[in-house]
Amino acid sequence: MVACTKYAILLSFGLVFPSFPAFSQQLVAVLDKFDSTVNYRKLNKKDLQSFSDAFFENRMEELHIPGAVILLVKDGRILFQKGYGYADIEHKVPVSPEKTLLRVGSITKLFTSTAMMQLIEKGQVNLNENVNNYLKLFKIDNPYPNPVTVKSLLTHTAGFDHQHIGRYVRPRTEVRPLGQVLKDNLPRLVFNPGEFINYSNVGLSLVGFLVEEITNVHFTEYIKDNILQPLEMHSTGFAHEIEPNRDLAIGYKYAGHNYRAFPAEYLNLVPAGALISTAADMAKFMIMHLQDGRYQNIRILEGETVREMHRRQFDLHPRMWGWCYGFYEGFDNSIRAIMHSGNTRGFSSLLYLLKEQNLGIFIAYNANDASLYDEYIDRFHRRYFPVSNEIKPDEPLLVDKNHVRRFTGIYQFNSAPKLSISKLTKLLENPSEVVIDSNEDGTLNVHLPERILKMFEIEPLLFRSLSDETRMAFEEDDEGNITHMFLNRDKPVTLEKLAWWQTFRFQINFMRAFVFVFAISLFCLIPYYLTSQRPAKGLIFLAGLICFLNVVFLVGLIALYDTGELRFGISTGLMALLIIPKITTILWCGLLLLTIMAWRKESGTLIQRLHFSFVTVTLLAFVPFLYYWNCY
């Protein structure tokens, strides 16, 4: 319609002003520019296919993604859908929007949240009630003043420690009952509920278990009966309940110029990420949410309930993205979206809703790389929803380098484990740290794992990126010291500012120093033992034994600690290794006693006694190191 209007105007001008072709050309340019601001002009199947084909065919090859699917819904129907590449490379099975079953990971949480909203709508659950009042099998041990509520679970603010030990099993028949998994492995709270965002698989799994406790229906059966069947999502189910078949996509990792298939694995925390679906089925779920709980003639939620689910329920700063119930917010070209991503081994996915435009996008592929769907969404907005000139850019505050220095330092995502052996992941595999430094012009450089952002302050304690709509805010204590940073990254997250001794660089160097000292001490103690008299041999042998065991422990820890395997449980080798610190700590007490006696009786040479004392003091410093990393 817009195009017709444009050419009607041109025809009129051509008839009235036939001698002004130059003016007509300028008018074409003006009208084309006008067209580019009309959001829906190009949003049609033909243009979407042209745009998507060019994007996926180029980026999938560059990012080594074997297969992908894209589906868009608009105004209650599928506008565009297409598969690219292979779901199974070996058998050359192409990706199909209607047939290919993909693991959607944490998008499962949207189904879990939708189920809870159904119970809330019926009056069976109070959002602000203490969760312990609903639990029968176990209770949450809460040392903080605020209770864990259903609202805090749905907004990821309950404060649970991150725990990934034993979350997965390999044979699907070994997936355990949800209640028993939570009872045996419920992590402790590390934050006062309702204060900080701390993304939690356990929290949403607890929501799923509440559905079981309140309805007396198994979680997966409830989802099938109350969401999947009414929405006619007949191809959707849970990984451990679906028989392996040719339609199941295989997850891959690209390494050594080859695609390596991941073996099948199954999540014990089913409500947090165990769903398998097709793009065509996910279209029905998106349409239901875009139409306020209705799909065709079926309504599974009332409109007000869905609108409440989609509203911002918790934020860390009013000018930053927040969490809804299940969904989280995002803004691109100043247009609000609600969404959830999914990332499980060998699979990535995104469900993205533009509620005001009645538009939904689902992207999924059998590889781990969030940049593909991030780039698609970014280019999609630039193509179909360009920035309006009416939107005023944020004005930077006039600040200098001395002002912004208080924000510099090293920050850690607060989802990093704190109270289990999982904490060692930070030391041995992934620091999960963000470094912030300052520039002469009063801006900050934020060094994220995937990119560096240059940020400027737009109001006290609030910064914005120079290149996009990413924002970050800071929290200070009563004395004005910066304690936390809040960041719009993939989703709204909280980071804690680290003391110098908590940083990865200090701790890894501390660990290396222990390995060096124990190894050198052991090497020096051998000739001492061979040349010493009998009374001193016991002291030398004990010191040497402790040094040897500690070297074995530290080297063994580096060799055996594997987060990928830890998700299936602590291995026998690692379990045996963790006995060593307990033994060496007990032996250290004996070494301390013998060292004191050696000084009193002047046993051995002065150099030897100094050496024993040095080893004893080093071992004393090793104890808090082990305690800090939960090795006891």
Which contiguous run of DSSP H or E holds residue 280?
Answer: helix 279-290
189 phi, psi to nearest 5 deg: -80, 135
pLDDT of residue 391: 58
Which contiguous run of DSSP H or E holds residue 528?
Answer: helix 504-531
Q: Is residue 41 part of a domain?
A: no
Here the CATH number for the domain that contains residue 461 is 2.40.128.50
Q: Which one, of 421, 430, 368, lies nearest residue 569 by Cα? A: 421
The H helix count followed by the E strand count for the chain is 20, 26
Q: For 315-325, what is each residue's pLDDT tens digit? A: 989 999 999 99
Q: Is residue 262 part of a domain?
A: yes
Geometric angle at alpha carbon 229, from 224 and 235, rounded to 5°:
85
Q: Is residue 391 part of a domain?
A: no
Q: Is residue 396 part of a domain?
A: no
Q: Is residue 392 part of a domain?
A: no
> The tokens of 111 are what?
């189904």
Domain boundary among 479, 498, 517: 498
Q: Is residue 394 part of a domain?
A: no
Q: Is the dihedral of CA 489, 494, 499, 503 positive or negative?
A: negative
Q: For 336-383, what is each residue's pLDDT tens digit? A: 999 999 999 999 999 999 999 999 999 999 999 999 999 999 999 999
- Same domain for 172 and 155? yes
- Same domain for 224 and 256? yes
Chain centroid offset of residue 101 CA = 23
| Residue the block writes with tokens 């917010």 | 329
| Residue the block writes with tokens 């869905």 | 306
pLDDT of residue 398: 76
Higher per-residue confidence, 11 vs 511: 511
Here the CATH number for the domain that contains residue 339 is 3.40.710.10
- Same domain for 255 and 306? yes
Give the pLDDT band of residue 27 (cuts 50, 70, 90): very low
**124, pLDDT greater than 60:** yes
Q: Is residue 580 part of a domain?
A: yes
- Same domain for 263 and 360? yes
- Same domain for 225 and 93? yes
Higher per-residue confidence, 595 vs 178: 178
Average per-residue pLDDT in the chain? 89
- Same domain for 487 and 551? no
- Same domain for 29 and 124? no
**What's the CA gap between 583 and 542, in Å, rounded?**
12
pLDDT of residue 34: 40
Give the pLDDT band of residue 543 (cuts 50, 70, 90): confident
Give the pLDDT band of residue 532 (cuts 50, 70, 90): low
**288, pLDDT greater than 80:** yes
Burial of 33 (0-12, 13-18, 19+ CB in 10 A): exposed
pLDDT of residue 533: 61
CA 140 to each of CA 115, 135, 144, 415: distance values in angstroms, whole numbers, following the listed order: 22, 9, 11, 19
pLDDT of residue 376: 97
CA 454 to each of CA 159, 297, 331: distance values in angstroms, whole numbers, following the listed order: 30, 49, 18
**26, pLDDT greater than 70:** no
- For the ranges 51-60, 221-230, 417-426, which has the lowest average pLDDT? 417-426
Give the pLDDT band of residue 443 (cuts 50, 70, 90): very high
pLDDT of residue 392: 64
| Residue the block writes with tokens 């047939």 | 99
- Same domain for 239 and 364? yes
Higher per-residue confidence, 37 vs 470: 470
**505, pLDDT greater than 80:** yes
pLDDT of residue 42: 76
Q: For 173-215, what is each residue's pLDDT tens digit? A: 999 999 999 999 999 999 999 999 999 999 999 999 999 999 9
If you average pLDDT over residues 138-144, what whole number do you get? 97
48 phi, psi to nearest 5 deg: -60, -40
pLDDT of residue 153: 98
pLDDT of residue 58: 95
Domain enclosing residue 467, as ranges = 401-498
**What's the CA gap between 409 and 427, in Å, rounded?**
18
pLDDT of residue 453: 92
pLDDT of residue 241: 95
pLDDT of residue 566: 87
- Same domain for 486 and 339? no
What is the domain count for the chain?
4
- For the ranges 31-40, 213-222, 354-363, which has the lowest average pLDDT? 31-40
Instruction: Give the contacts of 569 (CB within 8 A, at least 6 positions apart).
Output: 165, 166
Q: Is residue 220 part of a domain?
A: yes
User: Percent of the chain having pLDDT more than 90?
Assistant: 71
- Same domain for 89 and 169? yes
- Same domain for 452 and 478? yes
- Same domain for 366 and 345? yes
Q: How far apart are the first and last CA of the chain?
A: 71
